[in-house]
Chain A
Amino acid sequence: MEKFEKLAGIAAPMPLVNIDTDMIIPKVFLKTIKRSGLGVNLFDEMRYDRQGNEIPDFVLNQPQYRDAEILVAGDNFGCGSSREHAPWALKDFGIKSVISTSFADIFYNNCFKNGILPIVLPQEAVDVLMKDAEKGSNARMIVDLENQTVSTSEGESFAFEIDPFKKHCLMEGLDDIGLSLEKAPAIDAFEAQASQARPWV
């Protein structure tokens, strides 16, 4: 996995609350057996009409947001289905960080497996960042994972919390299967003990 470096990019505002993973990537695109190529269908039903033409009002169709790398979103982003196709589509489009007051649990975890940084901030901070994002492509937001801050184009800065292990994996681009396999002796020991304690499992 690619390392998450400091990010200075365009942020797109999506104030709608409860943006679910069906919106992020509708099920018709889940029939792939690959991880790549989903960016073109990110937010498909909001982004295109039935004939496949772009809906000009939709934020990522607006010229100033086409190269957005950050989303500032309403509460409870990524709720619903566990489909990892949602972060795959975001990543493939070029989104590297999503900022909201809250994320659904499975989506939040899925982001870290794909080099995307989800940032949780209080409502007041998200409100300020949403306003900054509304300025368009002239406003570059800065996400500094190492120092755990997000800064507006005007330099107003907000600190965010992140689990140290998740931060470490993201910064180093670590494959966590590899890390867990290093613990194989502990897994062996657990299985030996569990097969005594709960042989019916």
Chain B
Amino acid sequence: MSPKTLYDKIWDAHVVSEDSDGTCLLYIDRHLVHEVTSPQAFEGLRMAGRKVRAPEKTIAVPDHNVPTTLGRENPDQMPEDSRIQVAALDTNAKEFGIHYYPVTDVRQGIVHIVGPEQGWTLPGMTVVCGDSHTATHGAFGALAHGIGTSEVEHVLATQTLIQKKSKNMKVEITGKLRPGVTAKDITLAVIGATGTAGGTGYVIEYCGEAIRDLSMEGRMTVCNMAIEGGARAGLIAPDETTYEYVKGRPHAPKGAQWEAAMDWWKTLYTDEGAHFDKVVTLKGEEIEPVVTWGTSPEDVLPISAVVPAPESFKGGKVEAAKRALDYMGLTPGQKLTDIKIDTVFIGSCTNGRIEDLRAAAKIVEGKKIAINRAMVVPGSGLVRAQAEEEGLDKIFIDAGFEWRMAGCSMCLAMNPDQLSEGERCASTSNRNFEGRQGYKGRTHLVSPAMAAAAALTGHLTDVRELMTENA
């Protein structure tokens, strides 16, 4: 038998049928649903008189619209259109009998944080959601990707997707990361190297010592942004770190089933000699803490760099860079560390987990913020509770941060957490697109530690300088 990649193995285990042209019906093990991209899909089912084929494999949670302020269970806190969307999810979850974590449930949070936390996401699964950051779940060695609303409806009705296989891409991060460099820096550095379309048509497998050394949470951060590199999905082969994270979670297998699952999971790795269509290698020790300067996640530079000149790019990127600098209010040659920040946002499906909050709290502890607004939005109610148990909430509040309830919040600003025109934010989220965090808002993507550092100094800052101070 010819050697297979991890992607090949998961794919092969889920093919329901294959047509002569290679079009497959792929079985979906987990379908995650949120309020924004699902109402039209449920409505479609209703109109056609169809049912949800596998409600026990379908999990819904409101996250995009929900306010993150206390007392949010009061519907008056939401504008009417948001309230209608959340109410529609409530109704649809009940009517179609799917698992549901309402806003009043402590387990509510960002769908990509809730799935792994509750043990819904397991190695070797196929996982989809009407959300591009479904790539997050690839950290478990699950084939996970975002889909549109029509495909949400397709999965609800058939528990399958019509798919053609993508190509295999290997992204290897060799060696060790240096202090102050995190999973976020890895994933941004990869996009900086490959571009936002570098992964188009591929499923990426991340590997190498620096990836193996990451915790599950770090691995989720890396895979989360695979989509920002254009890839259909990102994968990391499961190992002891994965099994340890999964074991004991509410929906993880138990007893004999656990043993059976482990037997299969241990076969989920890329065979020696398996073919990759594209290989990218970065040296872990060469990655620095990075920031984005523009309006595309590929606009990545080490914090020690300066704002680039548009002429340094080629083709259509020259005009795009001009537009980006104008939008961002930056001048070529300006030191990135001289860029003043108005706001800091720590949260999102990229960096809203407990380790992210710990990393930020470590920088912030005993200090005060030098900016007007800094927010911490835990990724789930359980992350929030865990942080409070560890006293992180107090560290943040004492430093001047707002301590919020769980949700997507300012990552995409569908709820009231938004930037105003011209407001500049160091953000741990995943997209720096024009208008993403609010109309004419300006976003610099960074790691949680770098966001914390910017909050303390009031400008983009190399977190390693603050770490030396602490030492």
Question: B-contacting residues of A (Cβ < 8 Å)?
Answer: 15-18, 20, 22-23, 26-28, 30-35, 45, 50, 74-76, 79-84, 87, 102-106, 109-110, 113-114, 123, 163-165, 176-177, 179-181, 183-184, 186-187, 190-191, 194, 197-201
Check B132–A194 contact: CB distance below 8 A.
no
Find the A residue at minimum CB distance from B430: A80
> CA A15 – CA B17 in complex, angstroms?
40
Check B435–A17 contact: CB distance below 8 A.
no
> CA A25 – CA B413 in complex, angstroms?
14
> CA A78 – CA B196 in complex, angstroms?
11
Tell me whether A163 and B158 are in contact in the complex, defined as CB-CB below 8 angstroms, given that A27-B412, A102-B197, A113-B150 are known contacts. no
Which of B40, B50, B264 is A34 in contact with, Cβ under 8 Å?
Answer: B40
> CA A84 – CA B36 in complex, angstroms?
10
B458 at the interface (CB under 8 A from A): no
Which of A32, A79, A82, A187 is B25 in contact with, Cβ under 8 Å?
Answer: A187
Q: Produce 1/0 per residue, B3-24, CB < 8 A to A.
A: 0000000000100110101010
B306 at the interface (CB under 8 A from A): no
Tell me whether A198 and B414 are in contact in the complex, defined as CB-CB below 8 angstroms, given that A15-B316, A31-B81, A84-B150 are known contacts. no
Check B414–A27 contact: CB distance below 8 A.
yes
Nearest-Cβ distance from residue A79 to partner chain B, whole angstroms:
6
> CA A80 – CA B296 in complex, angstroms?
9
Check B23–A163 contact: CB distance below 8 A.
yes
Tell me whether A26 and B435 are in contact in the complex, defined as CB-CB below 8 angstroms, given that A32-B81, A79-B196, A106-B148 are known contacts. yes
Which of A30, A105, A186 is B36 in contact with, Cβ under 8 Å?
Answer: A30
Tell me whether A82 and B316 are in contact in the complex, defined as CB-CB below 8 angstroms, given that A105-B232, A198-B261 are known contacts. no
A selection of 29 A-B contacts at a CB cut-off of 8 Å is A18-B298, A23-B435, A32-B81, A34-B40, A35-B149, A50-B421, A50-B439, A76-B197, A80-B433, A82-B37, A83-B148, A84-B148, A104-B200, A105-B230, A113-B150, A163-B23, A163-B164, A177-B154, A177-B158, A180-B158, A181-B158, A183-B17, A184-B158, A187-B27, A190-B27, A191-B27, A198-B264, A200-B253, A201-B57
Find the A residue at minimum CB distance from B261: A200
Given the complex, which residues of B lie within 8 Å of A110, measured CB to CB?
148, 150-151
Check A45–B434 contact: CB distance below 8 A.
yes
B184 at the interface (CB under 8 A from A): no
Find the B residue at minimum CB distance from A28: B414
Check B316–A45 contact: CB distance below 8 A.
no
> CA A102 – CA B160 in complex, angstroms?
26
Nearest-Cβ distance from residue A191 to partner chain B, whole angstroms:
8
> CA A16 – CA B343 in complex, angstroms?
29
Find the B residue at minimum CB distance from A83: B37
State which size class the interface on B falls in.
35 or more
B88 at the interface (CB under 8 A from A): yes
B287 at the interface (CB under 8 A from A): no
**CB < 8 Å A-B pair total:** 191
A-B CB proximity, top 4 nearest:
A200-B253, A113-B150, A84-B148, A110-B148
Find the A residue at minimum CB distance from B130: A82
Check A106–B147 contact: CB distance below 8 A.
yes
Which of B16, B81, B260 is A187 in contact with, Cβ under 8 Å?
Answer: B16
Please indicate which of the listed interface residues A17, A50, A187 has the most CB atoms of chain B within 10 Å of its own CB.
A17
Given the complex, which residues of B lie within 8 Å of A200, measured CB to CB?
122, 253, 257-258, 260-261
Given the complex, which residues of A lie within 8 Å of B350, measured CB to CB?
none
Given the complex, which residues of B lie within 8 Å of A16, measured CB to CB?
316, 319-320, 323
Find the B residue at minimum CB distance from A106: B146
> CA A99 – CA B245 in complex, angstroms?
45
Which of A18, A79, A82, A184 is B148 in contact with, Cβ under 8 Å?
Answer: A82
Given the complex, which residues of B lie within 8 Å of A104, measured CB to CB?
197, 200, 230
Check B16–A199 contact: CB distance below 8 A.
no
Given the complex, which residues of A lie within 8 Å of B53, measured CB to CB?
187
Given the complex, which residues of A lie within 8 Å of B315, measured CB to CB?
17, 75, 123
Given the complex, which residues of B lie within 8 Å of A34, measured CB to CB?
40
Which of B151, B157, B160, B316 is A75 in contact with, Cβ under 8 Å?
Answer: B316
Besides A83-B37, A105-B231, A198-B261, 12 more A-B contacts (Cβ < 8 Å) are A20-B433, A80-B433, A84-B37, A84-B130, A105-B200, A110-B151, A114-B150, A177-B48, A180-B162, A183-B17, A190-B16, A201-B29
Find the B residue at minimum CB distance from A126: B316
> CA A140 – CA B44 in complex, angstroms?
36
Given the complex, which residues of B lie within 8 Å of A201, measured CB to CB?
29, 57, 122, 125
B388 at the interface (CB under 8 A from A): no
> CA A74 – CA B260 in complex, angstroms?
49
Given the complex, which residues of A lie within 8 Å of B200, measured CB to CB?
76, 102-105
B65 at the interface (CB under 8 A from A): yes
Find the B residue at minimum CB distance from A104: B230
Check B316–A79 contact: CB distance below 8 A.
no
Find the B residue at minimum CB distance from A23: B434
Given the complex, which residues of A lie within 8 Å of B130, measured CB to CB?
82, 84
B72 at the interface (CB under 8 A from A): no
Which of B57, B320, B435 is A18 in contact with, Cβ under 8 Å?
Answer: B320
Check B414–A113 contact: CB distance below 8 A.
no
Given the complex, which residues of A lie within 8 Å of B88, measured CB to CB?
33
> CA A33 – CA B158 in complex, angstroms?
22
> CA A20 – CA B230 in complex, angstroms?
12
Check B413–A180 contact: CB distance below 8 A.
no
Find the A residue at minimum CB distance from B30: A201
Given the complex, which residues of A lie within 8 Å of B431, measured CB to CB?
20, 22, 80-81
Check B320–A17 contact: CB distance below 8 A.
yes
Chain B residues numbered 32-62 whose CB sits less than 8 Å from any CB in chain A: 36-37, 39-40, 43-44, 48, 50, 53, 57
Which of A17, A33, A82, A103 is B39 in contact with, Cβ under 8 Å?
Answer: A33
Tell me whether A75 and B40 are in contact in the complex, defined as CB-CB below 8 angstroms, given that A45-B434, A105-B232, A106-B148 are known contacts. no
Check B16–A82 contact: CB distance below 8 A.
no
> CA A65 – CA B358 in complex, angstroms?
52
